Amino acid sequence: MTLKKSTGIVIIGGTACGPKASARARRCDPRAKITLIEQTEEISTATCGMPYYISGVISKRATMLQRNSAYFKNVFDIDVLTGTRAMHIDRKSHTVELMTVRDGQSSKIKYDKLVLATGSLPAIPNLPGKDLKGIVTLSRLTDADTIHGLVTTKGFNNVVVVGAGLIGMEMAEAFSTKGLKVTVIEALDRVLPALLDSEIAFHIEKHLKQKGVNVVTGQRVTGFEGNNKGWVKAVKTADQKIEADIVLLALGVKPNISIASEAGITIGQLGGIVVDETMQTNDPDIYAGGDCVENINLLTRQPMLAPMGSTANKHGRVIGTNVTGGKETFPGIVGTAIAKVFDYNVGRTGLTEASAIADGYEVITSLVPGSEHASYYPESRDILVKLIVDKNDDTILGGQVVGTGDVAKRVDVLAAALTFGYDVSDLANLDLAYAPPYNSALDPLHHAANVIRNQRSGLARPLTAAEVKRKLDNSDDFILLDVRSPEEYKTVRINASQTRLLPLPELRSRIDELPKDAEIVVYCKTSVRAYQAQRILSGAGYKNVAFLSGSISAWPYDVSMDWKSPLGRLK
């Protein structure tokens, strides 16, 4: 019997996708010769945990190292070359030219199958002063070590975070936790602009400010100013100069594709390596995965970038199977992300309302406040759900959840619903786990779906906060009807001249106080009573009645919390 020649598998990149691909390949083929190449001195680093290492939540650096070279050799019989940079791929000879980082020594390694898991690089703007000391990025554990040292430097008090994406938000908390004064600058009009619509992002921005973070949106950084020792001392925008001892550039990442591009591997329109569903490139012997590749969006069927450790690990498993003769596929993603920002949790999956409209969808949305579990069970925390649906066929397009309560549970349910093409009726009837410590009888997701079903049937007529705000600013010819109790009204309210207080239990008996020809917008705490009031008024013949979507719990503008006098009966 002739033994099959063992396959030589070379994997470039040792953070997430690469180690996963190598371990999977070994499990699938016990005889393959597998070599993992990493340009830093460490592999399998938990880069997603770096903000928590900097803040001190993760106290030991060693915790960030999931596996080391000895483990891969002893357990998997995988050769790991750390401190080694892949310089050039010769596809014709099936070789990779290597260089040791420490001494510049070059060598070559031959492959039968090659895996590119080269990850991503931080985006660094070409601005005056960008090379000043104290201006840092965060993409590797060595970056975290640098920042860890800076935040403990005596006399360093002011931090500016440029960019309000996921890393920017997590690091704003980390810096603040270390006692530093933090400013976040974002060029767009809201925090987490690529992930959230404005009415959800508002709650994160408001919470940041409550925690002492200075948030500057709608301004671009124009440069950095240094002192006579070469350290940064200020960040400049078109409108102001902000003092800074440390500047974190958190402007996102771009795929690290230079070695692939130089070798003639196809690069896509978004700048990532193009792969098919088996993670194979245009070269049948070269596979790629992780941050360096483009993914398929399962909703739009268009390419998208997804620099997430979770996606990279899924890629790695598929690649490890296929480089050893398997035929596993990776269908794509729906764009799920989540973050902790101080006491708030925020997540999203699928399309935002803005991106759905940009992609040509006609959408219908709901905005539903709720509790993470039964409100009568102790310590229930609040969440706010936004659901985005295709108006033409009721298919779910996306969702966003924010609050102090359990956000991940709802985002994960929505991610599954999107993946399997659920519509709002499917979501409304989904059999979710229920007991008072874990949920209410109807989850906030059920309510969000039912609000849209009520809109579709003509029973509900919600208006967005932006629509109501425009009415408040431009017209006195309507009534903003608050149907909460006087006690609730005293605590917090939308302070506008158009506001009238009429508690819901009194609405039927006092309905004649409302003029039949008036435009009426109703609000309460979460829209439950407001919707009921709308139905009462509609049933009584009022033709121009709507309610504020999400009501005061989701109102993204200023509210009044000072008490002067009740408005009393309607005139």
Q: Where are the domains of the chain?
A: 8-46+61-120+254-322, 135-251, 343-456, 462-554
Output the six-digit token pair for 251: 């402007």
pLDDT of residue 115: 98
pLDDT > 50? residue 490:
yes
| 28 annotated active-site | no
pLDDT value, residue 275: 98
pLDDT at 183 over 70: yes
Dihedral angle sign, alpha carbons of residues 152, 156, 162, 164: positive
What's the confidence (pLDDT) of residue 570? 37
- The Cα–Cα gap between 100 and 107 comes to 9
Instruction: Compute φ and ψ for 389, nearest 5 degrees.
Output: -135, 145
Provide the percentage of residues in the chain whose pLDDT is more than 70.
97
Is there a shared CATH topology between the 8-46+61-120+254-322 domain and the 343-456 domain? no
CATH fold label, 462-554:
Oxidized Rhodanese; domain 1 (3.40.250)
Provide CATH code, domain 8-46+61-120+254-322.
3.50.50.60
Q: How far is CA 450 from CA 145, 396, 430, 459, 461, in A?
A: 49, 13, 12, 11, 13
User: Which SS3 state, helix, strand or coil, does residue 303 take?
Assistant: strand
CATH topology of domain 343-456: Enolase-like; domain 1 (3.30.390)
Distance CA 173, CA 481 (A): 38
Cα 207 versus chain centre, distance: 17
Identify the sign of the CA torsion 243, 246, 248, 249.
positive
| The pLDDT of residue 566 | 38
Region 387-406: what's the mean pLDDT?
97
Rounded to 5 degrees, what are φ and ψ at 64?
Answer: -80, -10
Distance CA 53, CA 48 (A): 10
Whether 564 has a pLDDT exceeding 50, the answer reads no
| Collapsed DSSP state (helix, strand, coil) of residue 79 | strand
Residue 569 has pLDDT above 80, yes or no: no
User: Is beta strand 462-463 parallel, antiparallel or unpaired with respect to 545-548?
Assistant: parallel
Catalytic residue among 17, 28, 48, 524: 48
Whether the predicted pLDDT of 561 surpasses 60: no
Q: What is the pLDDT of residue 4?
A: 39
Q: Are 214 and 182 in contact (CB under 8 A)?
A: yes
Phi-psi region of 207 (alpha: psi -120 to 50; beta: other; left: phi over 0): alpha
Rounded to an integer, the average pLDDT of 202-220 is: 96
Average of per-residue pLDDT across 413-431? 98
| pLDDT at 6 > cutoff 90 | no
**Per-residue b/e over 327-337, b at no fewer than 16 CB within 10 Å?**
eeebebbbbbb
Categorize the per-residue pLDDT at 186 as very low, low, confident or very high, splitting at 50, 70 and 90.
very high
pTM greater than 0.75 (yes/no): yes
Q: Could you give the C-alpha distances from 118 to 39, 158, 255, 289, 536, in angstroms and in order?
A: 10, 34, 8, 8, 61
Report d(CA 77, CA 33) in Å as an integer: 8
Q: Identify each DSSP E strand in 405-464 by its residue range.
A: 462-463
Nearest partner of 559 among 501, 496, 493, judged by Cα: 493
Asked if the model's pLDDT at residue 226 lies above 70, the reply is yes
Residue 443, pLDDT above cutoff 70: yes
Q: Check residue 387 and give its pLDDT.
A: 98
Of 411, 445, 415, nearest to 430 (Cα)? 445
Q: Does residue 556 surpass a pLDDT of 90?
A: no
Average pLDDT of 372-392? 96
**Dist CA 248 CA 167 (whole Å):** 10
CATH code of 135-251, in short, is 3.50.50.60
How big is the CA angle at 338 (ends 334 and 342), to the nearest 5 degrees?
Answer: 165
Evaluate whether 387 touches 418 at the Cβ level (below 8 Å). no
Task: Give mean pLDDT, residues 339-352.
Answer: 98
Average of per-residue pLDDT values in the chain? 94
